[in-house]
Structure 1
Amino acid sequence: MSGSIERFRVSEGGAGPYGVAVGPDGGVWFTLVHAGEVGRLAADGSVRRFAVGAAGSGPSVITVGPDGALWYTRTRDHRIGRIDTGGRQHSFELPTAGAGPFGIATGPDGALWFTELNADRIGRITVDGRVTEYPLPVSGAFPSMITAGSDGALWFTLNQAGAVGRITVDGEIAVHPLPTEGAAPVGITAGGDGALWFVDIGAGQVGRITVDGRVTEYPLPDRAARPHAVAAAPDGRLWFTEWAGNRIVSLTADGRRTGYDLPVPAAEPHGIAVGPDGVVYAALEIGEIVRLTP
């Protein structure tokens, strides 16, 4: 289906972008994973870019923190970064060497929670930089994205374990295996129905898990679409990127699916975010941010 899609060039030469978030200043903030930069796209299409480390630092997922700054993971040099809306920045080293931080989200306790791909841990960092790590009860799980749930806990995907995990703010962890073998979940978000919604990049599915652990899976029409990231909109719809399908897709609570084909082939859509006005932004690794007005 066609829609109102606008394209904004934010990088050249395969620098990204990868993660995307709508900031409290109204700008769209994004990571350039291959350039070691974070950028801001203004409403008028102008772009500012900030070097946040070496080109190999790997800024990946970005989110708005409880302090109004943007916080992001540096997957390759194993740090957590912070940049305020004025461009002032700082980064924090993690206790575990080679941890590979990836997903990050603000928790209900006023701290940031993040996943450690390589270390099978969930981390917590306060706004003044104090880090606590919690080992998972499974190894080789590849914890990926994380989000705050309606139950006051944090929920995260375990890509290689084929499971969704839950951690309380006190550090208690539960793991819920998924029914589909090779599901490889990545993106996860809290839906307006109180459940958690996730996408299975390996199985071409959207999944739903209630806070008591009941899982329902919804196969996509294109099982090879490789859904990657998912975000909830203020109207209750879910939006997700189909990396291989070259689409942005919405899903309503009653199961109505609408696909928006991207206007450029092989765009490699990754991160997705929805603003308070319902406008959708997606990061295309070919070097663009797209703005979709439903």
Structure 2
Amino acid sequence: MNEINESHDTGSVREFTVSDADAGPYALTEGPDGALWFTLVHRGAVARRDPDDGLVTVHPVGDGPTVITAGPDGALWFTEYRAHRIGRLTPEGDYASFAPRTPGGGPFGITAGPDGAMWFTLSSADRVGRVTVDGEVTEYPAPGAFPSALTTGSDGALWCTLNQGNAVGRLTTDGHGTAYPLPTGGAGPVGIAAGPDGALWFTEIGAGRIGRITVDGAVTEYPLPDPAARPHAVTAGPDGALWFTEWGGGRVGRITVDGDITSYALSRTDCEPHGITAHDGALWCALETGSLARIEVRP
């Protein structure tokens, strides 16, 4: 499939149609080839948007591809939530997948670990897994309920949100876990990213807040202007700030390490922005209604 269909332009925000509304662009990442790669969660596919001409190429994969990231081996790695597998796709389109040890675990978050392997969450099984680039899988108990997104912290450990445990978890590469409860009840943390300040930043979809946790476990929370924003994913931007999607309001937000918050409206309040990543000097997010949005970083 090849499409370049710009659907919305507000000056700082541009949107590009990349699929039909039923395909469900969900998460995205910059690939080792400099292109933007994204999952089509309802189509069972991973797609590539060319950085030069915007052409989109679609690769069929397993059922329910969800979060995607670049691996240390020059491939794209992603979770297949409904197929209960971990997928690997080379820039040339060669696809393979690996089964976690726990069946029906619902893999969701995935990140490149500090040890040269890929780490992932098994949300439905309360476990965290590790898969080498050769496909060898190990699993550990998560430090709390429903581990969701995860990332590598500045301390060389894995950090994950514990969506149903109302906490943020830390897991060492040898499987030792610690949970840090959040001050606000019902926060429902989802997205998490390493910040430029050495701390971890995360979204509280249930409380309408952005959280910050130091590697020592000290938590600070920042309420969003719209309590019903339902922040979902978060990433470090090229400007030294953190950027996040507001799934409930059809916006993209920006928070500085000092807690100053600004917001950018997308074309529709119901466009369902999910994943977000830095790419080509801007921020890009996936809109489940069929588009990718590019948010310009301005001084």
Size of the alignment, in residue pairs?
287
Residue 43 of structure 2 is aligned to residue 35 of structure 1 = yes
Task: Name the residue aligned to 1:71.
Answer: 77
Alignment of 1:183-198 (within 5 A): 183-198=187-202
CA distance in 1, matches of 2:105, 2:153: 24
Query: Which residue number corresponds to residue 59 of structure 2?
Result: 50
| SS in structure 2 at match of 1:118 | helix
* Counterpart in the other structure of 1:212: 216
CA distance in 2, matches of 1:248, 1:137: 30
Contact 2:238 2:282 in 1 (8 A): no
Match of residue 289, structure 1, among 272, 289, 292: 292
Q: Distance in 1 between matches of 2:281 and 2:197?
A: 17
- 8 A contact 2:250–2:265 mirrored in 1: yes
Which amino acid is the alignment partner of residue 84 of structure 1? Answer: T
> C-alpha distance in 1, partners of 2:35/2:292?
12
User: Deviations along 1:137-156, whole A, 9 cap, x unmatched?
Assistant: 54xx1110000000000100
Distance apart, 1:278 and its partner CA = 3.0
Is the contact between residue 280 and residue 293 of structure 1 (CA under 8 Å) also seen in structure 2?
Answer: yes
Matching residue of 1:121? 127
Quote the Cα distance in structure 2 between the aligned partners of 1:159 and 1:3. 35
State the alpha-carbon separation in 1 of the partners of residues 81 and 293 from structure 2: 24
Please report how far the alpha carbon of residue 3 of structure 1 lies from its aligned counterpart in structure 2 after TM superposition. 4.5
TM-score, length of structure 2 as denominator length: 0.94
Contact 1:3 / 1:292 at 8 angstroms: preserved in 2?
A: no
Q: Deviations over 1:93-119 (max 9, x none)?
A: 111110100000001100000000110
Q: Using the TM superposition, give the Cα deviation of residue 136 of structure 1 relative to its aligned residue in structure 2, in angstroms.
A: 2.6
8 Å CA contact retained: 1:39, 1:47: yes
* Alignment partners' CA distance in 2, 1:67 and 1:3: 37
Aligned mate of 1:134, from 136, 140, 143:
140
- Counterpart amino acid of 1:51? P
Does structure 1 conserve the Cα–Cα contact (< 8 Å) formed by 2:143 and 2:169?
no
Displacement of 1:14 in angstroms is: 1.6
Mapping 1:111-260, distance limit 5 Å? 111-138=117-144, 141-260=145-264
Shift of 1:256: 2.1
Residue 133 of structure 1 aligns to which amino acid in structure 2? E
Q: Secondary structure at the match of 1:217?
A: strand
> 1: distance between equivalents of 2:174 and 2:71?
20
State how far apart, in whole Å, the 1-side matches of 2:111 and 2:142 are.
Answer: 18
Q: Which runs of 5+ in 2 are unaligned?
A: 1-9
Structure 2 CA distance, aligned partners of 1:194 and 1:14?
39
Structure 2 counterpart of 1:279, one-letter code: A
Letter in 2 for 1:47: V
Percent identity, aligned pairs only, is 61
Measure how far apart 1:254 and its partner are.
2.1
Asked if the contact 1:58/1:76 (under 8 Å) is kept, the reply is: yes
Q: Which runs of 5+ in 1 are unaligned?
A: none
Distance apart, 1:159 and its partner CA: 0.4
* 2:92 aligned residue (86, 89, 94): 86
C-alpha RMSD of matched pairs (Å): 1.1
From 18, 26, 42, give the equivalent of 2:26. Answer: 18
Deviation at 1:191, TM superposition (A): 0.3
Code of the aligned partner of 2:19: S
